[in-house]
Amino acid sequence: MRALTALHSTPAARATPRLPRAVPAALAFGSLLLCARSSVASPQDLFGFGARASAMGGVGGAIADDFAAVHANPAGLSRAREIAFSLGYQGAGFMLSQQRSGAAATPVRQDISRGTLIGLALPLPFGGVLRERIVIGLGFYTPTDVVVRGRILRPETEQFLLLSDRTQTVAIQAGVGVALPWGLRIGGGFVALAAIRGGVVIAQDSTGRVGSRVDNQLVSSFAPVVGASFEHSILRSSITFRGASVGRFSVTIEARDIGLPLPVFNISGIAQYDPWQIAAETGVQLEGWSLLAGLTFKRWSEYPGPLERTTERSPEPPRPATSDTFIPRFGFEKQWARRTQRWSLRGGYFYEPSPLPARTQGANYLDNDRHIVTLGGAVSAVWRGSRAGFELFSQVHVLAPRDFTDGTVTTSASPIITARGVIIAAGVQSTVTF
């Protein structure tokens, strides 16, 4: 995906020994262009993908049977037997705060995130040995306000590094699932995140006036997703690998022939980052019950940090010494069926430890261990040969209070910063099969 988002020339002040107005204007544009706080991960990594998995504590790869399998486990797509179209809407509110030693707690402002979800499961109409064995799935998450967000904050500013605007990016996922004999299923696909690349050039035109030209591109970052599942009698199990997904923003600002020896400025960093991860699940399905337990490993130790150097002579920005994490997950679903109607109750819990250390040299990056409780349900009915369903989910993320040492102070009496908060997320989803 590649699109030109801006390209224009604007008259500015005449070329004189003083700093032209176009220079600070372009520098300001380079920061405002990215228009939000630094971001680290995609919405599906924070809340899950699809109403079912989001309501079950993030598990579901072992039983997935709709478009959401493109994230949970592409192998699950092969369970779909009908064409299904899904449309959803979800949002989250962040109530975060930080408190310095001896001072009152200060709220850390976060915009409410909102986005739409579109999904499609499409069984391929093959015959013979391939009949009902291959299914294609597509999933789209689109924020209602932006395409992608990321703004550079000074490292010394207190900021929730791994939570800021994590849901503010377009995410596209696609996959294919194949059913094999003996209860085996395999699948693969990719996830694409939006990113920004471009530049601002400040130069004189033929009349001697100084102007700026802005040339920015919307590009995509791709990462693989592959999975396998096995089912025998009441037993269910699965394993999924998701590659590291990195959405960078990079905007260069260059001044040419304006009479000032300015270096090339590089406004760049990581807009979105999902570490590569492996998710394993096991559980049972019996008499309408689905009970699942899972463990997710995330390779956070390879996280390069949110910022890159502004010029060639700039010092290296602080890089957090993040560590790998293991996330235990538990989820359940109870289904009832009567004639043409079905009802489901879902719930779950997962614990996500923070990969961030309690002190980052030269920065005040904050992040907390999170306890997440999830709840949701679904109802569907057959009407004129098609099944229409409605699902919902809710999540409460409780950030365990955590103390950080001010990384910008080198004395033995460094101030302590206590971070805490709550995140509340919810969503609805409707599905029609044909």
Mean pLDDT of 66-78: 97
pLDDT recorded at residue 381:
95
Which CATH code for domain 3-433?
A: 2.40.160.60
Q: What are the sequence ranges of the domains in the chain?
A: 3-433
Residue 252 has pLDDT above 50, yes or no: yes
Coil, strand or helix at 101: coil
Coil, strand or helix at 318: coil
Residue 71 has pLDDT above 90, yes or no: yes
Distant-in-sequence, close-in-space partners of 131: CB < 8 Å, separation ≥ 6: none
Residue 6 has pLDDT above 60, yes or no: no
Contact by Cβ (8 Å): 96, 163: yes
Coil, strand or helix at 302: helix
Residue 17 has pLDDT above 50, yes or no: no
Contact by Cβ (8 Å): 217, 243: no
Residue 380 has pLDDT above 70, yes or no: yes
Name the most confidently modeled range: 10-24, 187-201, 209-223.
Answer: 187-201
Choose between 330 and 385: higher pLDDT: 330
Choose between 189 and 315: higher pLDDT: 189
Q: What is the mean pLDDT of the chain?
A: 85
Spell out where 145-208 has E strands. 159-160, 171-179, 184-204
Sign of the C-alpha dihedral computed for residues 34, 36, 41 and 42 taken in this order: negative
Contact by Cβ (8 Å): 50, 73: no
- 113-150 residue pLDDT tens: 889 999 999 999 999 999 999 999 999 998 887 666 66
pLDDT recorded at residue 3:
35
Whole-prediction pTM: 0.84
What percentage of residues in the chain have a pLDDT greater than 70?
Answer: 85
- 384-399 residue pLDDT tens: 888 999 999 999 999 9
pLDDT recorded at residue 151:
62
> What is the pLDDT confidence band of residue 218, given thresholds at 50, 70 and 90?
low
| Cβ-count burial 346-362 (b if 16+ within 10 Å, e if not) | bbbbbebbbbbbebbee
Choose between 427 and 46: higher pLDDT: 427
pLDDT recorded at residue 22:
47
> What is the pLDDT confidence band of residue 5, given thresholds at 50, 70 and 90?
very low
Distant-in-sequence, close-in-space partners of 49: CB < 8 Å, separation ≥ 6: 43, 68, 70, 71, 72, 117, 139, 141, 173
pLDDT recorded at residue 25:
47
pLDDT recorded at residue 176:
98
Choose between 401 and 258: higher pLDDT: 401
pLDDT recorded at residue 61:
95
> What is the pLDDT confidence band of residue 28, given thresholds at 50, 70 and 90?
very low
pLDDT recorded at residue 223:
93
Least confident of 233-242, 252-261, 425-434: 252-261
Distant-in-sequence, close-in-space partners of 156: CB < 8 Å, separation ≥ 6: 362, 363, 364, 407, 408
pLDDT recorded at residue 265:
76
